[in-house]
Every structure is written in C-alpha cells, then in structure tokens.
Amino acid sequence: MAKYIFVFGGVMSGVGKGVASASVGKILQARGYRVTALKIDPYVNVDAGTMNPTEHGEVFVTFDGDETDQDVGNYERFLDVDLPRDNYMTTGRIYQSVINRERNLEYGGKCVEVVPHIPEEVIRRLRRATAKARAEITIIEIGGTVGEYQNILFLEAARQMHYEQPDDVLFVLVSYLPVPGTLGEMKTKPTQYAVRQVNEAGIQPDFIICRSTAPLDGPRKKKLSVFCNVDESAVISAPDVETIYQVPLNYEKEHLSDKILKKLKLRSRRQDLREWRTMVQRMLRAKTTVKIGMVGKYFATGAFILPDAYISVIEALRHAAGVHRVKLQIDWLNSDDYEKDRAKVKELGGYHGIIVPGGFGSRGVEGKILAIQYARSHGLPFLGLCYGMQLATIEFARNVCKLSGANTTEIDPKTKHPVIHIMPDQAEKLAKKQYGNTMRLGSWPCLLDRRSRSAKLYGTRRINERHRHRYEFNNAYRERLTKAGFSLAGLSPDGQLVEIIELPQHPFFVGTQFHPELKSRPLHPHPLFLGLVAAAKQRAVGRK
C-alpha cells in the first residue's frame, strides 16, 4: 500500500511550498524509499502553457511534452527523476475528464455532481500516478493557499483519502511566520489562523513547516503546538537559506524523515545524503565570482520584478557554478534598455558571460539582437536558449552575411530573409486556432557533429533534449550561413531540423533550439551550462 503526503500552504503564496515538497520527497528518497511527487494547480487552464508567465512563473516541460508548473521542475531537480504528465493536474484537467466521461455515459445516466465526482477524479489520478511510478510514497503539493476558494475540492480529496486510509495519508502545512520590522519579533498568529482554515476542511496537519527569515525558537514552537494541536516535535523550523538545496539537510537536523516514517508506520532505513551534502558544500564554499547577464524582457508587477519565469535557467547556472566552484552573480538585463539607448549595450563588457533565454513575440527582440552582436564580436561567452538561438541566427545573417532585414516570421511575416520560419505543421495548427499544448514539445533526439564543442561537452553524439517552440531554422539559408562560419552543430537524426548552432572561432558561442535548462540537476549539471560557466570563469580569472 502506497503512502500519500499532502503539502499545502498557509498565510501566503511564494514561501517555498514547492521546495518544501521536493525536500520532503528528497529526505524520504534518501531513506531508500521510492518517491514520486505531483503538483495540483488550482487554475482552470488545462495546462500551464496558456498561463501568464508573469503571474504563474516558468512553464516547465516534461519529457512527454506536458506544459506544467515550475514546481514539477523542483521535484525533478531534487529527486533526480523524469516525471511524466500524470504528475501534474489542474482544475481544468479534472473537469475536462469528468465532463468527457459524462458525455460518454460512463456515469451510467446518474447525476454527475461536483462532490463526490470531482474529488473522486482527483483521487483516481493520484493513484494512477503513484502506480505508474511504482512509488512507495507520493508527495502531493496543492497549489494556492488554504482558505482560498479555488483549492477546496483538492483539500476535500485529501480529506476523503485520509478518512479511508488514515495510516497511509499525512498532512503537512507549509506556513509563514513574519518578523515585522517594527516589532522585531516573530509572529505565530497568521499560522494559527491557517491551521483553523484547514481544520474547517476537516484536515488536521501532522506537521507544520515554519518558513521565516530566522529559525523558530522554543517558545514559538510551544505556542504553535498548543494552539494548533500538533506535537512540538512536529513543528519544523525552516529559515531562509543561501541555496535551496540546503533545505533537505536542514529538515534532517530536525529528524523530519524519522518522524514522518514513524507516523506513516514505515520501517526506518539507513539514510544516505552524502552526495547531496557534498554538492551543497561545494556550492557554499565557492570563491571566484562570475557575473552572468540574463538578457531578457522582464515584467514588473507594480514595483517588483519577478524572475520566476526563468527559474530553471537560474538553477541550471547554479548547478554548473557548484561544479566549477564559482560564486554566481546573475543580473537581470532588460533588453528594452538597449533599444532605447544602443550605447548601453557596452555594459555587457562588465560581464563574464550572457544568456539570452527563451521567449515569444516582438518586445525587446532588437535589444536582444544587439546584445548577441556584442557577445559575438567581443568574445563574450554566450548561450542562447530557444528564442536566444533563433535571434543569434538572425544576428549572424544580418551582420555577417549581410542579409539585411533578416528576421523570424514570428515578428516579420513578410521579411525578405526569413532565416527563422514557422514549422509547416505548426502553421496548420495556428490557422485552426489550436493553441493549447500544440507546440513542438517534450523530448526529441538530436545528433551532434563529432567536431563540435557541444559533442565534446556532452561526451556523446546522441542526445535527447526538451523543446517548446513553433519556429525553426530555415534550411534554405544553411549554405549561406555555414559558408560564413556559422556551424550547425546538432541536427535532428533525419538531418532536417537545426537543433544547435555554434561559432567555432569564438571562446563560447552556443545556441540551442531546445531548453537544456529543463534537464539540469544539482547532482547532474547540464553539459552546456558547465561549458558556459567554464568559459565565463576563464574570462573572470583571466581579467584579474
């Protein structure tokens, strides 16, 4: 019988519920249990592909082509596993299958009701994902915050499961304890209210993970224990950390895996976090600082900028930095600024490497192209991801091959030189207005040129990488570009699709049609990010 751990959030969003869920999974996996993790997103969207990245953060693509929440990326990074589309669900997805089933008369002509049929579908999916992963323990993160209208049906599913098998289901509340500057004291009251909110849903948390700027002290543990009806030992301190990969180690300082195993009546097995600990120590001990500029378009919500849209890129950089023992400084460089003032692109001289990440549409594109031109002509290490690769192609076509006005048809459908154009099957889908989950998605094989930098970094010729795009390199321009020194370092096995471009004469200039960041793991950093950080480090050290 598999065990289920539900994780939900109290007080406010954005306190690291995803990292908490992934870390709980990690410490149990380190005890020798087969663990899988699953995210429930309360949105009505069927997947994250159609959600606003500013509000929702990055779209994480699974190997089997699901467009999911960034937390699925956290689970993959912490558990070091590839998760399938079964491990993500939204309100929209649940209703869609219930309605389809109703249309097929699968409810035998009965009235189909929100309760019990919606929670039943949730439970069916939880069990299916667990069975597919052959998991002994499944972590389920319920998005949003308790007390919200949106996630009530998911809490109801959790309550029902607990009612049916109380020994196999456990509840973890991740809460936030503010330390208001004016008081200088950590406050527990919002957490007490959050517990009351879940109590209303018929759920009593077994553990409370207390996120805060500082560690939780004795008096507050006692208070939460008494007011929230949990053991003092079940109140877990979770202060801010330098790297998120410290979180599982911090939980183990409070013996959390022991406590969970005991509650779930699971056998205690030997713990192995050695490799993980070494990785974290390497990250924390780095000395040389490497400055990486992320040239993107950033959306401010009011006075705040949210870099969540690039979370996997940031993590992939951190993994590589750990291996090369460098401290990372990542700066958000707004490509709009270079459009307004072309001279501003010179600020890139202060960086050791730049990344132009993925994106859509025309805003900021000319600024990104200016940044790429600077990187190409100044030997500045460059990694272009998806749109970044496409824009590097445009830059080379315009400025080296003198194909003036070269562009992608995404921006200029009438361009004289469509060096990037839409894939034929994609044009059909757009004509039919089929937008949802129809891009080129998920894992695709790629064959590397034996002599390429990429082949050296990967240490193999055959790779698989994850995609999310509609446009591609236009083969009509292959000859003109390669003659001028542009190298097509990776192609689809049939030779038709350009997947990686390189400039062999440059210290490091690589663009990928896929998203390598999605496959980087702290214990297995991605070869291309290792390559970029190595080149950036060389530039940093060389300058001293």
Catalytic residues: 386, 515, 517
Interface region with ligand GLN, contact rule CB under 6 A, candidates 85-93, 211-219, 241-249, 357-365: 357-365
Binding status of residue 468 toward ligand GLN by CB under 6 A: yes
Site string for ligand GLN, 364-393 (x = CB under 6 A): ----------------------xx------
Q: Which residues, 6+ apart, have CB-to-CB distance to 163 below 8 Å?
A: none
The answer to whether the beta carbons of residues 232 and 207 sit under 8 Å apart is no
The 3-state DSSP class for residue 407 equals strand
CA distances from 193 to 10, 70, 144, 159, 199 (A): 9, 28, 16, 19, 10
The answer to whether the beta carbons of residues 318 and 241 sit under 8 Å apart is no
- Is beta strand 498-502 parallel, antiparallel or unpaired with respect to 487-491? antiparallel
Contacting residue, 18, 73, 293, 358, with ligand GLN by CB under 6 A = 358
Binding status of residue 473 toward ligand GLN by CB under 6 A: no
Q: Which is nearer to ligand GLN, 205 or 358 (CB)?
A: 358
Q: How far is the CB of 357 from ligand GLN (least distance, A)?
A: 7
Residues paired with residue 420 on neighbouring β-strands, in sequence order = 408, 473
Q: How far is the CB of 83 from ligand GLN (least distance, A)?
A: 20
Interface region with ligand GLN, contact rule CB under 6 A, candidates 82-90, 212-220, 228-236, 355-363: 355-363
- Calpha distance 282→27 (Å, rounded): 19
Q: How far is the CB of 453 from ligand GLN (least distance, A)?
A: 21
Within 410-429, which residues bind ligand GLN (CB under 6 A)? Answer: 410
Binding status of residue 525 toward ligand GLN by CB under 6 A: no
- Calpha distance 340→362 (Å, rounded): 15
Q: Which is nearer to ligand GLN, 115 or 430 (CB)?
A: 430
Angle of helix 274-285 versus helix 311-323 axis, rounded to 10: 90
Residues paired with residue 462 on neighbouring β-strands, in sequence order = 447
- 444: nearest Cα among 386, 359, 395, 383: 386
Binding status of residue 360 toward ligand GLN by CB under 6 A: yes
Binding status of residue 442 toward ligand GLN by CB under 6 A: no
Side-chain half-sphere CA neighbours of 33 within 13 A: 29
Contacting residue, 471, 486, 508, 514, with ligand GLN by CB under 6 A = 471
Q: How far is the CB of 55 from ligand GLN (least distance, A)?
A: 18
DSSP designation for 411: T
Interface region with ligand GLN, contact rule CB under 6 A, candidates 131-139, 185-193, 328-336, 463-471: 463-471
Per this entry, what is the length of the chain? 544
Contacting residue, 25, 293, 322, 359, with ligand GLN by CB under 6 A = 359
Q: How far is the CB of 19 from ligand GLN (least distance, A)?
A: 24
- Calpha distance 477→411 (Å, rounded): 18
Q: How far is the CB of 362 from ligand GLN (least distance, A)?
A: 10
Binding status of residue 196 toward ligand GLN by CB under 6 A: no
- Calpha distance 519→76 (Å, rounded): 8
- Calpha distance 322→426 (Å, rounded): 39
Q: Which positions touch ligand GLN (CB under 6 A)? A: 358-360, 386-387, 410, 468-471
